[in-house]
Amino acid sequence: MIKIDNVSKVYTAGETEFYALKDISVTVEKGEYVAVLGSSGSGKSTLMHIMGLLDKPSKGSVYFENSLVTTLSDNKLSELRNKRIGFVFQQFNLINRLTVYENVVLPYFYSKESKFNIRQKALKLLQDLQIREKEQKYPNQLSGGQQQRVAIARALIMEPDYILADEPTGNLDSKTGKEIVSILESLNKKGKTLIIVTHDRSLANRARRKIVLQDGRLVS
């Protein structure tokens, strides 16, 4: 469960304050499929960053599985994110100087798990995502859809319970976008909590629940 309680996020420029989020309270239960919907500038990506423990609110509380995490150190938050939350972004965020395989296993950089086990996990994910043959390719040698599949494999390599996807189809053609959404939805059917951030209402309508933001406020 991820619970956001009366959260605001404020940015300052000189003496001017800008509220990216204003008094947001929302809960996502484990196993849910939720869409965060809003136009550009509505605060949806800021909300995802807070829900995904990538950022801290200016005020309010964040709970992760009934534990208050707002006051945790950056190192503790990083450890929690790495083990429990997988991220998929619109820009893929792959490292071009690393191969597909190296990108996928990157979350294990500081792990003490055996290289054999890590490799077996990675190859199975690549096989499941139909890009096993791309293992030694580099991101700039792949199509957009293939790059997003690599990003999904990287998000899943630590076997997280929560998948947060920020505009996961934004840089893809409609056919490839549907394929990526189907992959994410299949993960939800296997028990993963799925939170998709989007401005696309047709994509949001596929979720079982919508969180709608406008100008940093919760509309519905």
Tens of pLDDT, residue by residue over 52-84, are: 999 999 999 999 999 999 999 999 999 899 889
Look at the chain and report how many structural domains it folds into: 1
Per-residue pLDDT of 152-165, as tens digits, reads 999 999 999 999 99
For residue 11, being part of any structural domain is answered with: no
Rounded Cα gap, residues 16 and 36, in angstroms: 27
For residue 82, being part of any structural domain is answered with: yes
For residue 161, being part of any structural domain is answered with: yes
Confidence at residue 211, expressed as pLDDT on a 0 to 100 scale: 95
The CATH number that applies at residue 83 is 3.40.50.300
- Domain containing 127 equals 33-46+73-212
For residue 52, being part of any structural domain is answered with: no
Do residues 36 and 198 make contact, with C-beta atoms less than 8 angstroms apart? yes
For residue 77, being part of any structural domain is answered with: yes
Label residues 128-165 b or e (16+ Cβ within 10 Å = b). ebebeebbeebbeebebbbbbbbbbbbbbbbebebbbb
For residue 7, being part of any structural domain is answered with: no
Q: How many alpha carbons fall within 13 Å on the CB side of residue 46? A: 26
Query: What's this model's pTM, rounded to 2 decimal places?
Result: 0.90
Q: How many alpha carbons fall within 13 Å on the CB side of residue 189? A: 6
Do residues 220 and 35 make contact, with C-beta atoms less than 8 angstroms apart? no
For residue 38, being part of any structural domain is answered with: yes
Per-residue pLDDT of 1-56, as tens digits, reads 999 999 999 998 888 888 999 999 999 999 999 999 998 889 999 999 999 999 99
> In the structure encoding, which two tokens stand for residue 171, read together?
């840089």
Rounded Cα gap, residues 168 and 142, in angstroms: 16
For residue 155, being part of any structural domain is answered with: yes
Identify the CA nearest to 100 among candidates 64, 65, 59, 141.
141
Judged by average pLDDT, the poorest of 67-71, 77-81, 106-110, 190-194 is 106-110
